Amino acid sequence: MSVGLIGKKIGMTQLFTDTGEVLPATVMEAGPCTVIQRKTKDKDGYSAIQFGFEEKKRNVKKSLLGHFKKWGAEPRKIVREFRLESPDEYKSGQELRVDMFSPGDFVDVTGVSKGKGFTGVVKRWGFAGGPGSHGTHKWNRRPGSIGASADPSRVFKGTKMAGHAGRRRVTTQNLKVLKVDVEKNSLIVEGAVPGANGGYLVIKKAKKKAG
């Protein structure tokens, strides 16, 4: 059993249960992924499997082309590593598909969230803002005080302020698998996953929930 798959977000939809309940769902393309390289503690310092997703026929860097050729694999657009204890059960060129998941399983999905650009503290951090009446002027969405005066006489590192929001690596945990289509390499989970449509994802079996 593999530790996970690389996939792509297709979009969101709705599914209906037998009782008529509406479930928000996300459709993902999951695999097929090809094993490119096995890494061992003796040689590389840690144990892992390197997977590739989607063929890449153009604009492959020479360094990557040599890497793929060394391990007898076709160039892939997305390459990711999965840590595991026993990489010996996998072989270079082996293909892993979405049938490793079943309806009722729970998965953790990692992706890059949508970028929001430069935003204020209300949108970025959920600040309440200032009062909107009683003599205040243009204070509704201001951050307020960011530090003391004489002591410590500086602003602490990490203080939540306005800045670039979104476009960061995010993991959504414990998403229930609703449907698996092996022929179309599609996986449908309940709820939303990080990122925009077409964004690449890493799909793993849930760490904190058995299913």
Distance CA(69)–CA(108), nearest Å, equals 32
The more confident residue out of 25 and 71 is 25
What is the pLDDT at residue 119?
96
Q: Quote the mean pLDDT of the chain.
A: 87
Residues 86, 159: one domain? no
User: Which DSSP symbol is given to 149?
Assistant: S
CATH number at residue 81: 2.40.30.10
What is the pLDDT at residue 81?
87
What is the pLDDT at residue 156?
92
Residues 66, 112: one domain? yes
Residues 126, 145: one domain? yes
For residue 153, what are the CA distances in angstroms to 145, 146, 147, 149, 150?
A: 13, 11, 8, 5, 5
Determine, yes or no, domain membership for 80.
yes
**Tens of pLDDT along 61-101?**
888 888 888 777 778 888 888 888 777 778 877 888 888 88
Residues 16, 105: one domain? yes
End-to-end CA distance of the chain: 15
What is the pLDDT at residue 11?
93
Residue range 19-30: mean pLDDT, rounded: 92
pLDDT bracket for residue 34 (50, 70, 90):
confident
Determine, yes or no, domain membership for 185.
yes
Residue 113 class from Cβ within 10 Å (0-12 exposed, 13-18 middle, 19+ buried)? middle
Residues 149, 187: one domain? no
Cβ neighbours for 78, distance < 8 A, ≥ 6 positions apart? 6, 52, 53, 54, 200
The more confident residue out of 60 and 23 is 23
What is the pLDDT at residue 158?
92
What is the pLDDT at residue 1?
41
Cβ neighbours for 100, distance < 8 A, ≥ 6 positions apart? 1, 2, 5
Determine, yes or no, domain membership for 190.
yes
Inter-residue contact 29 to 186 (CB < 8 Å) = yes
Question: Of the ranges 12-21, 88-97, 113-122, which is most confident?
Answer: 113-122
What is the pLDDT at residue 40?
81
Determine, yes or no, domain membership for 83.
yes
Residues 135, 79: one domain? no
The structural domain count of the chain equals 2
Residues 192, 180: one domain? yes
Residues 124, 98: one domain? no
Residues 59, 30: one domain? yes
Residues 158, 174: one domain? no
Distance CA(172)–CA(194), nearest Å, equals 7
Rg (CA), the chain: 23
Determine, yes or no, domain membership for 100.
yes
Q: Looking at this protein, which amino acid is placed at residue 195? A: G
On the question of pLDDT at 2 being above 60, the answer is: no
What is the pLDDT at residue 210?
56
* Structural domain harbouring 64: 4-116+169-205
Determine, yes or no, domain membership for 132.
yes
